[in-house]
Amino acid sequence: MKTISDIEDLRRIAARRVPRMFYDFVDSGSWTEQTYQLNQTSFKEILLRQRVGRSIDGRSLKSKMLGVDVSMPVAIAPIGLAGMVHADGEILAAKAAVAAGVRYTLSTLSIASLEDIQRATDAPFWFQLYVMRDKQFLLSLIDRAKAAGCDALILTLDLSVLGNRFKDAKNGLSTPPKLTISSLSNMLTKPKWCMGMLRTHRRNLGNIIGHAKGVGDVHSLSGWIGQQLNPALSWKDIEWIKARWGGKLVVKGLLDAEDAQTAVLAGADAIIVSNHGGRQLDGAPASVAVLPEIVDKVGRATEVWIDGGIRSGQDVLKAIALGARGALIGRAHLWGLGAYGEEGVKLALELIRKELDLTMAFCGHTDINSVDRSVLMERTIPRTDYCVA
């Protein structure tokens, strides 16, 4: 393995190893990709306050998310089709998360199924639910998540309609993918990826095929997914889903302080400030830009987590300093996965852990749970009147 210094190194290797169609699926946002880019640049604009002359011996990153011990306040975000970035991708990422002492979230639209992850890790994980129109299927998914040992349900609310992602349309990324001569010949230049895919039987949406009515194979799937996005989804649905689930419920995809308050009233045990990694509403603010205002509004009533643009431990520290109790990583772990499979995800998590630890030390702290806004240069903190007049 080459010397890997940061997540950007992993991204460069993934770009060489993963077929263009799936690499672009990951490294893209919707429309002009303004929000996708803002997620990262907004973290860079926040500057850290170096402190000296304090003992920084005996540091700890241990924390809790939803009352569960984690080795650092980081978790893996739900990713649809992660099993196309690398064969058995979700299983490998979930194993890496267990080894690192952090939580893994499985997407409804994953290639590996809930049961695959349970068998491979035998450890609790989180399940992300898309609220589809087929209520019977929804109920069965909730029950399967319980049976698989998931101890939190993450409800994604920002995908009732689909953002327009130009690269996917150009690359023919649909379900099933439209394989053109150019995409096929590109795949053939990625022999390790091809071998992995030939060896595994997991190439379909494992939570859906054979479980949803009328979806027996990949060809019936595309029509089904098109019909299943649910534009009628509303806060009322949260209540019955929470009642059916009966466990910890996390609401994902919030960018507005008023919506955050509504989520708390609907019973969210945690919320995720997120713009879906810039893949839905282009022109929306960066997640970190609205984090302070949302923390001000609901941070005492619920756990506020964040995702979007986190590429380093420094970004995690900034999010925690602004009041987040956890940070989820999407692309940062996918690039590790695309580069080196399970080892790559472990590497991504270790890079983030080391950067977080050292940055915390430079800022004069020894316990991640005591980090607050004072580690940031005050004038670079995003203003807190973004959402509410």
Q: Which residues are catalytic?
A: 276
Q: Please say which residue, 128 or 171, places its beta carbon nearer to ligand FNR.
A: 128
Of 245, 234, 193, 221, give the one whose Cα is nearest residue 89: 193
Task: Kindly report the three-state secondary structure assignment for every residue of 268-289.
Answer: CCEEEECCHHHCCCCCCCCHHH
Residue 222 DSSP code: H
Question: CB 90 → ligand FNR: shortest distance, Å?
Answer: 11
Q: Nearest approach, Cβ of 148 to ligand FNR (angstroms)?
A: 17
Identify any residues that bridge with 250 across adjacent strands, giving them in sequence order: 154, 270
Smallest distance, Å, CB 250 to ligand FNR? 10
Comparison of 131 and 329: residue with beta carbon closer to ligand FNR: 329
Task: Select the residue whose beta carbon is closest to ligand FNR and give its number.
Answer: 330
- What is the C-alpha separation between 325 and 80, in angstroms, rounded? 24
Q: Which is nearer to ligand FNR, 331 or 346 (CB)?
A: 331
Element (H, E) at 248: strand 248-254
Q: Is the peptide bond before 73 cis (omega within 30 degrees of 0)?
A: no
Decide whether 252 or 325 has the Cβ nearer to ligand FNR.
252
Q: Which amino acid is at 302?
A: T
Q: 186 with 177: CB under 8 angstroms?
A: no
The residue type at 341:
G
Q: How far apart are CA 182 and CA 60, in angstroms?
A: 50
Q: At its nearest, how many Å lie between ligand FNR and the CB of residue 53?
A: 35
**Distance between CA atoms of 93 and 252, rounded to whole angstroms?**
20
Under the rule (CB under 6 A), what is the footprint of ligand FNR? 25-26, 39, 77-80, 107, 109, 128, 156, 252, 274, 276-277, 279, 307-310, 329-332
Nearest CB to ligand FNR, comparing residues 92 and 365: 92
Residue 331 CB, shortest distance to ligand FNR, in Å, is 4
Confirm if 359 and 48 have CB atoms less than 8 A apart: yes
- Residue type at position 233: L
Give least dist CB 85 to ligand FNR, A.
Answer: 8
Q: Between residues 320 and 365, which has the closer beta carbon with respect to ligand FNR?
A: 320
What tokens were used for 134?
């087929």
Distance CA 267, CA 302 (A): 9
Closer to ligand FNR by Cβ: residue 212 or 365: 212
Query: In angstroms, what is the minimal distance from the CB of 76 to ligand FNR?
Result: 9
Strands 74-76 and 68-70: unpaired
Euclidean distance between CA atoms 140 and 152, whole angstroms: 16
